[in-house]
Amino acid sequence: MDASPDFDFFPPIEPRRTGMMQLDELHAMYWEECGNPDGIPVVYVHGGPGGGSSPEKRCWYDPDAYRIILFDQRGAFRSTPLAEVERNTTQLLVEDMEALRKMLGISKWLVTGGSWGTTLSLAYGQTYPDACLGFVLRGVFLGSPDEIEWFLRGMRRFFPKAQEDFVKWIPQPERHDILTAYEKRLFGKDEDARMDAARRWFKYTESCSLLRHDPALVEEAAKNDTVVYGTGRLDAFYFRNSMFLEPGQLIKDIARIAHLPVAIIQGGHDVIAPPVAAYTVHRAWPGSVLHIVPDAGHSPSEPGIRRKAIEVLEYFKRNRRFDAAALQASGPV
Residues 131-172 have pLDDT tens digits of: 999 999 999 999 999 999 999 999 999 999 999 999 999 999
Output the CA–CA distances (angstroms, integers) from residue 46 to 71, 79, 115, 158, 191, in the order listed.
Answer: 8, 13, 8, 25, 26
Question: Alpha-carbon distance 47 to 209, whole Å?
Answer: 12
Listed residue (9, 6, 285) closest to 122, CA to CA: 285
Catalytic residue selected from 115, 144, 288, 330:
115
* 8 Å CB contact between 181 and 158: no
Catalytic residue selected from 79, 209, 298, 330:
298
Catalytic residue selected from 79, 270, 282, 288:
270
Active site residue 242: no
Active site residue 115: yes
Listed residue (316, 323, 324) closest to 108, CA to CA: 316
* 8 Å CB contact between 88 and 102: no
Active site residue 269: no
**One digit per residue, pLDDT tens: the chain, 333 residues?**
776 666 688 999 999 999 999 999 999 999 999 999 999 999 999 999 999 999 999 999 999 999 999 999 999 999 999 999 999 999 999 999 999 999 999 999 999 999 999 999 999 999 999 999 999 999 999 999 999 999 999 999 999 999 999 999 999 999 999 999 999 999 999 999 999 999 999 999 999 998 877 777 777 777 789 999 999 999 999 999 999 999 999 999 999 999 999 999 999 999 999 999 999 999 999 999 999 999 999 998 899 999 999 999 999 999 999 988 888 766 555
Listed residue (303, 319, 305, 298) closest to 140, CA to CA: 298
Q: What is this structure's pTM?
A: 0.95
CATH entry 3.30.43.10 includes domain 17-144+246-319: no
219-239 pLDDT per residue, tens: 777 778 999 999 999 999 999
Domain boundaries, the chain: 17-144+246-319, 146-244
